[in-house]
Structure formats: structure tokens, C-alpha cells
Amino acid sequence: MNTLLLNTLCLTLLVLLSSTGCTPAPGPLRVAVAANFRNTFDTLAQRYLAETSLRVEVAYAATGILYAQIINGAPFDVFLAADRLRPERLETLGTGVPGSRVTYAFGQLVLWVPGADHALGEGWLRSYRGRLAIANPELAPYGVAARAVLALINPQLLERGLVLGASVTQATHYVASGGVPAGLLAFPVLRDRPSNELWRIPENRYPAIEQQAIAIAGPRQRAARAFIDFLTSDTARREITAAGYRVPERVPERVSERERMSGL
């Protein structure tokens, strides 16, 4: 075998290796998700896997905790917050991909009193003097909403009686375990509870809980944008609505990242 033929074969082998075995397969998409959205996101991740064969690796925590992790370099590809403030900040900082930020849901606040034997409502909350669980307003948007409701209806509870959870999920656990008699919490998490135990707070009593998502700048940002397109698809919107959230009105049609990727 002459030298020219040998060099040609070696070059061909190197090209084949570089395009197959030597290039690692992309790993799962890493998504940071606000704690209130856990059950719904688990369902969405399974649907995404079924549609695309792409796995999602997820971390759940309070929005403020996840935001702090992201700006300190945690390797996430997508952030699903329970507010719009922190995704906006990430976009301004350049940590979030410009133009990728979307509203995927509007949360709703509920008063939960397990075992309540009489109708709940504003009058009950106004006269309540016991302990009340809410998410920490410094970390969780549902805590911000709960604080606004109490400032309007029962300011005394802001001075004493509050039990703060690091997330709305933890605050819910305080009530579910019997440690705290009542809580101002996320309605989607509790929608299956008996109706006599719940009072859905009118949405004009607190700032809108506008939950936004954003792709994080990095090598996976194209796949991240494709996932955000899925998050605003009809399939995802139906799941989100069924879980007890409101979804925003449809935005004008545009060519999605998923469509661009499929056309390659």
C-alpha cells in the first residue's frame, strides 16, 4: 500500500470518528423550575420526552434560590420562574438569551384550612388570629402575593403569626403536616382538596403572579429555546390550564426554534 493511499485512508477514518463515536451525545436539558410548578412540569417533561426523545434533568426550588444559583454559574439551560422580575434581570444581565423570555402561566393564590367546617372567605381571614404559613416573600413570588393580601385584609398577621417556608411547597408541607393550621398557598398545588377547605383569593387582591421562562445563554441555548417553544405549544397550554393555572393569550404566530431545528 503506497503512502498516499495510506494517508487517505487514515484521514477518512479520522473524519468518521470525529462525526460519530468521538463526539459525545448531547446530555439532558437542564431546567431550573419554581417549586409550585413541580407536578405540572413532571407531566410536561414526560410529554416532551415522548415528542422529541430528549430527556430533561430538573431542579426544583424557590424562584429566588434558583435565580441566585444561575447568576453564580449553575449549569442550567432553562429557567422557569414564578415571577417575571428575575427572568427580566437575567435578560438584562446577558445571562438569559435575548428574545427567549415568555410568560407560560399565571399563578393563583388560595387560603387553605384543612378540615374547615364552615365557609371560608375574606371575613374568616380578616378575623383570623392564629398561625399562618406562607412562602418567604424574599425568595418566592407566592409569598409576595400572600403578603400583599395580608396587608390589605389582616395586617396584624404580618407582625406576628406568620410561618415562612423557603418555598410555597415547604409552606404547604407545614399545613399538610398539621404543624400550622392554615396557609396562603398556590391553588394549583391544592386544587384537589375539598372545596370547603379552600378560598381562592380574588386576583385583584394581589399583584399578578406572572410566571416566566427564559433560555440561559450557553452552548445549549438553541435546544433551550426549542423547549420554551414547546412550553407555549397547544399541548403544554392544555396541561398547564388543567393543572389550575391561567395561560396568557396567544402571541402572533412565528417560526419556532423547534421548526428551525427540524428544517436543518
CATH number of the domain enclosing 136: 3.40.190.10
Please check whether residues 93 and 218 belong to one and the same domain. yes
Please check whether residues 126 and 185 belong to one and the same domain. yes
Q: Which residues contact 20 (CB under 8 A, 6 or more apart)?
A: none
Please check whether residues 70 and 142 belong to one and the same domain. no
Please check whether residues 94 and 39 belong to one and the same domain. yes
Q: Which residues contact 252 (CB under 8 A, 6 or more apart)?
A: none
Q: In this structure, is residue 5 part of a structural domain?
A: no
Q: What is the CB-side half-sphere exposure of residue 180 using CA atoms within 13 A?
A: 24
Please check whether residues 166 and 114 belong to one and the same domain. yes
Q: In this structure, is residue 263 part of a structural domain?
A: no
Question: 133, 171 in Cβ contact below 8 A?
Answer: yes
Q: How many domains does the chain have?
A: 2
Q: In this structure, is residue 8 part of a structural domain?
A: no
Check residue 251 and give its pLDDT: 57
Residue 61 domain boundaries: 29-107+209-243
Report the C-alpha gap between 48 and 236 in whole angstroms.
Answer: 9
Scanning the chain, the segments in alpha helix (DSSP H) are 3-19, 38-52, 63-71, 85-93, 122-127, 141-153, 156-159, 168-176, 187-190, 221-231, 234-242, 257-262
User: Which residues share a beta bridge with 32?
Assistant: 59, 79
Q: In this structure, is residue 250 part of a structural domain?
A: no
Please check whether residues 100 and 171 belong to one and the same domain. no
Of 142, 169, 200, the residue that ends a domain is: 200
161 Rama class: left (phi>0) / alpha (psi -120 to 50) / beta: left
Q: In this structure, is residue 59 part of a structural domain?
A: yes
Of 173, 200, 227, the residue that ends a domain is: 200
Q: pLDDT 10s digit of each residue in the chain, 264 long?
A: 444 433 433 333 333 333 333 333 468 999 999 999 999 999 999 999 999 999 999 999 999 999 999 999 999 999 999 999 999 999 999 999 999 999 999 999 999 999 998 889 999 999 999 999 999 999 999 999 999 999 999 999 999 889 999 999 999 999 999 999 999 999 999 999 999 999 999 999 999 999 999 999 999 999 999 999 999 999 999 999 999 999 998 754 444 454 444 444
Residue type, position 42, single letter: D
Please check whether residues 143 and 217 belong to one and the same domain. no
Q: In this structure, is residue 54 part of a structural domain?
A: yes
Please check whether residues 51 and 119 belong to one and the same domain. no
Please check whether residues 161 and 221 belong to one and the same domain. no
Q: Which residue's C-alpha cell is 413532571?
A: 42
CA 33 to chain CA mean position, Å = 4
